[in-house]
Amino acid sequence: MPEPKLDEKPEEKPKEKPIEKTTTSSEAQPENKDVTVRHADGQVNQVGGETKSNDGQANIVGQGDLNENTSEEDKSSLYQNKRKHDLADSIKASNDKTGESEVEKVNESQVVEKGAKKDKNEVSNQSPGEQFPSGAQAELTNETSTENGSWSTQAMESKNEKDTQESDKELVVYNWKSCNSTAGPDFIPCLDNWRAIKNLRSTMHYEHRERHCPEEPPTCLIWYSNVPHTELVEYKGHQNWVKVAGRYLVFPGGGTQFKHGALHYIDFINENVPDIAWGKHSRVILDVGCGVASFGGFLFDRDVLAMSLAPKDEHEAQVQFALERGIPAISAVMGTLRLPFPGKVFDVVHCARCRVPWHIEGGKLLLELNRLLRPGGYFVWSATPVYQKKPEDKEIWKAMSKLLETMCWELVTRVRDRLNGVGLAIYKKPMNNSCYEKRSVQDPPMCEASDDANAAWNVPLQTCMHKVPIDSLQRGSRWPEQWPARLDKTPYWMLGSEMGVYGKPQPEDFVADYEHWKRVVSKSYINGMGINWATVRNVMDMRAIYGGFAAALKDMNVWVMNVVPIDSPDVLPAIYERGLFGIYHDWCQSFSTYPRSYDLMHADHLFSMIKQKCKIVPLVVEVDRILRPEGKLIVRDTAEVVSELESILRSMQWEIRMTYNKDNEGLLSAQKTMWRPKEFETLDYGMMT
């Protein structure tokens, strides 16, 4: 039966008081502040204080009714290309209450008053025994006066910006339109910028497949009900990797490479090189030229996480199929720039008929794999030069063999799978520098000491190799713990006294972050928000810190794309070290994924950070583009930002499932609907002609 509706009225919250810090590592106790919880039955309860419900009755709830400690807002300005910590500060973030809602129909042109009370209908799934989150718990240690001095400047800038915003007019008009572009429902702004593509001097190195973001990100909406590419079935159907069955697309797990199934191929690799040990020694892999990612998809059965990538293709859209199947994948190309991953993070790199010319131009593309592969990691190459004797294949094999020998990669095995009719060549990257030092000719050369292997955002490819770390406390000097132990254990190279993101020594910081997210996920996200997790598979953490949120979801049937913004601390290597994966990104630009790719997106104090450098509306539109219809968004941020987001989302006719306020912190849970505006906006840069 239809769920009842209720009025929901967001309230302004007092400015958060500074967090007092001590010189010890003990956690500060949460203050007994007023908390505003909007119930689905129409009541508004104030915890630790008093407010009025719809019937005029005062509701008072004691602090003892709440028991969850939440949240930290990282305010560090450590950039991923610097790889050092300037300062870590934290904002207390609260947790949540549950609810489900139905959105009211509104006009396409929405007028929303900032800070005004809005009436909307919601329904709660909260059971009487469930507990709400308590006030945020400060998990910080004392900072030096120099660090505090550095942060005070940022605080002043933020205050000035806030004062400027508060002086703006109170009424905001959102006149939404649907996007009109050549790519139609599959529009990716930074990959479908045809104005920029037409002006490229060359496309020899796949420059036309690289990111070319418009100066102003779009603010129109992209809509389609589902993946429409039945034409792809006709184009690729003979390869046994996609079939039509009624209204559904079926993926048998075959293809050009896996005629007898991907699992047989996966096990064949392990049988020939047992040290690969899927799901134990080898946990995180990179699959280049992934097709529809059958290899990565079936690796889930072996407890392996695969980052699959392929360029956007006008007629194949294979990455879109992979994501539709619930398999991790991104649209990317090995062209002129480094891939957006840190160095020395992948246990295995796989290429099966990936059509990448590894051997040309001094092996520039293969040297990029060398940057990404852990010392001691494996390169699995399955292509016709490995097992066929045509003149062209023989020449490529000869060139590859010479190149890989100069790179000191060891050929572990070259074997043919008679069942599938394909061959494998498996190489191993060296674990020390002895081979590099013995080379008579330094070609490819070693990289300069100043060349940072982790610098990966818009950095040109280099034709050099980075040395293997020799310091036992340096990342890459030894292999991580076996999976799943590596998920919970602080990485060996973080066991020193260096300060972490939240101001504690890194080991304490790492553990505190994980414990925090385990509390939040178990007490709030799993049972406290009315989310049907059976409908959630593809998850994105838009601002990941250590990967604690993803790690807390380890027992769920989901995978998490951990996004580390380029303006945040460069914690992505730590995320990979614990057996998770992620990517660098600038949220002032479009993400390299198809529309309707993810089921749930999570943003922990991302929007307030983004407001310091770019507009918030295009980012909300990007979230709308990425999420599937009925996809969920969870936001933890300042009360002011949460209120602004609520207004924007309501104007897009999203369902506001739940809001929760305490002190100056807010929590929002919302769901995308099927609504789309009827008017269109043509994006000139997105038109091919």
Per-residue pLDDT, 167: 46
Residue with the two structure tokens 């132990």: 485
Which tokens sit at 361? Answer: 């131009």
- Tell me: the pLDDT tens digits for 13-62? 333 333 333 333 333 333 334 445 553 333 444 443 333 333 333 333 33
Which amino acid makes up residue 288?
A: V
- Tell me: the pLDDT tens digits for 207-228? 999 999 999 999 999 876 544 4
Q: How many residues does the chain have?
A: 689
In contact, 459 and 452? CB cutoff 8 Å:
no
Q: Is the pTM of this model over 0.85?
A: no
Per-residue pLDDT, 490: 96
Residue with the two structure tokens 């973030």: 93
User: What is the band of 130 on the pLDDT scale with cuts at 50, 70, 90?
Assistant: very low
Closest CA to 290 of 237, 228, 353, 207: 353
Answer whether residue 96 shows pLDDT above 80: no
Interatomic CA distance for residues 547 and 564, integer angstroms = 10
Strand partners, 559: 538
Helix and strand numbers (H, E) in the chain are 17, 28
Per-residue pLDDT, 166: 56
Interatomic CA distance for residues 630 and 673, integer angstroms = 5
Answer whether residue 586 shows pLDDT above 60: yes
Answer whether residue 246 shows pLDDT above 80: no
Answer whether residue 587 shows pLDDT above 90: yes
For the segment 674-687, the average pLDDT, to the nearest whole number, is 92
Interatomic CA distance for residues 181 and 333, integer angstroms = 22
**In sequence order, what DSSP letters do the residues of 89-114 get, joined into one string?**
-----------EE-PPP--SEEEEET
- Tell me: the pLDDT tens digits for 454-491? 999 999 999 999 999 999 889 999 999 999 999 999 99
Domains annotated on the chain, with CATH:
68-104+140-201+498-676 (3.40.50.150), 260-316+345-468 (3.40.50)
- Tell me: the pLDDT tens digits for 520-550? 999 999 988 889 999 999 999 999 999 999 9
User: What is the band of 682 on the pLDDT scale with cuts at 50, 70, 90?
Assistant: very high
For the segment 259-275, the average pLDDT, to the nearest whole number, is 89
Interatomic CA distance for residues 423 and 438, integer angstroms = 31
- Tell me: the pLDDT tens digits for 247-256? 555 555 444 4
Higher confidence at residue 180 or residue 155?
A: 180
Cis check for the bond before 484: say yes or no (omega within 30 of 0).
yes
Closest CA to 76 of 88, 91, 62: 88
CB atoms within 10 A of CB 293: 28
Distance of CA 389 to the CA centre of its chain: 42
